[in-house]
Amino acid sequence: MRMSHHFLPGQGRQIGKTILPVIVFTLALTVLLAGFAAGRAAADGQDLPYTDRYIDLHLHLDGAITLDVAKQLAVLQGYPLPEDRDEELEKYLTVPEDCESLNDFLKCFELPGYLLQTPEGLREAVHLVADSISSQGVIYAEIRFAPQFHTKSGMTQEEAVQAALEGLKETELKANLILCCMRGEGNEVQNEETLALAKKYMVEDGGVVAADLAGAEALYPTENYRELFAKAKELGVPFTMHAGEASGPESVRLAIEYGASRIGHGVRIFEDPELVAMVREKGIALEMCPTSNRQTHAIADMAEYPFMQYLEDGVKVTLNTDDMGIEGTTLAKEFRYMEENFGLSPEQERIVLANAVDAAFTTDETKDRLREQLGLPKGTVIELLEDTLPEAS
């Protein structure tokens, strides 16, 4: 089915009341950020450059194991690798550009999973991945992983969390951790333990900052996790949730109902115009990952990728890598891809980065520091626009 980004006939009256504020909001935001950035460029005597500093809010640890990281983890733990030659080993870690199925994609998690079953391996993986993305221009990241996936060799979930926290201490990158509960069958106890650990180790910054729900959306619907995330809300654990990727917009609607402040992917919300309006009005951030969506075929035709339409509609979209090792990507490549294929402008990039800062699970102090590094004004987007928006009549 080809995608359409236009609202359907008969729905105009339902959303018409929101159109004018959205237009004003988007124009004011664009003028604000573009004007500020243009001022910087003029002061430097050059044209406004594309960004070379990034924020990654959606990065899976096991999916970020590159060839170099895998080799270092193998040496550290004395583990044999399936191949000696780099070009052959790469096939175990990275899907080909013409990836044809989700199964091919999922096979690439097997070797990283094997290398992440000891405290030493998990600690060093967090350290090495963080250092690697820092060298690529990332200035803030939220690294997510499922502690229950790292217990095959006797490590407990809590030991896995402690190891990952130790890894954070060894990198200079500003980063935090998100603990993933997993869609599946018969893992209810494990998910409850993951959520309890998120609460136990929760900090405002510099450690575990949120929970997530990941896994096969189409096989294990979001409805199954209503009680789990009611508990998360009761415990005061903020969370994001994978939704609107393999399954349709209803999964996103439920995630928002449960209290998710961000949505992992959310690429399919265009199928429900009322949901697009809800996401926009509630300020729910979408953690969008173009290369991942292309390779897993979440989008049938990338020419119809809805990122730019969401951006123009005032939805709080962000750009992320998802599984950078498996996909053979970096966040810089994601931005270049959007520039080259969809015309993402420097001004729009600053809006995307401002969205990421606003949506990050971190403190206001850290957010202001990130804005300074990115050349953005201090304060949330809403605060910056309060004086530019018209009063309600």
Active site residues: 245
Buried b (16+ CB within 10 A) or exposed e, 9-20: eeeeeebeeeee
Please answer whether residues 264 and 58 qualify as being in contact, where contact means their C-beta atoms are separated by less than 8 angstroms.
Answer: yes
How far apart (Å, rounded) are the C-alpha atoms in residues 51 and 136? Answer: 12
In angstroms, how far is the first alpha carbon of the chain from the final one?
Answer: 41
List alpha helices for the chain, DSSP H.
12-44, 67-77, 86-93, 102-107, 110-115, 119-135, 157-169, 188-200, 226-235, 249-258, 273-282, 290-295, 307-312, 324-327, 331-342, 346-359, 364-374, 381-385
Q: What secondary structure letter does DSSP report for 52?
A: -
Q: Angle CA(148)–CA(171)–CA(212) in degrees, nearest 5? A: 30
Distance CA 276, CA 338 (A): 21
| Dist CA 215 CA 242 (whole Å) | 8
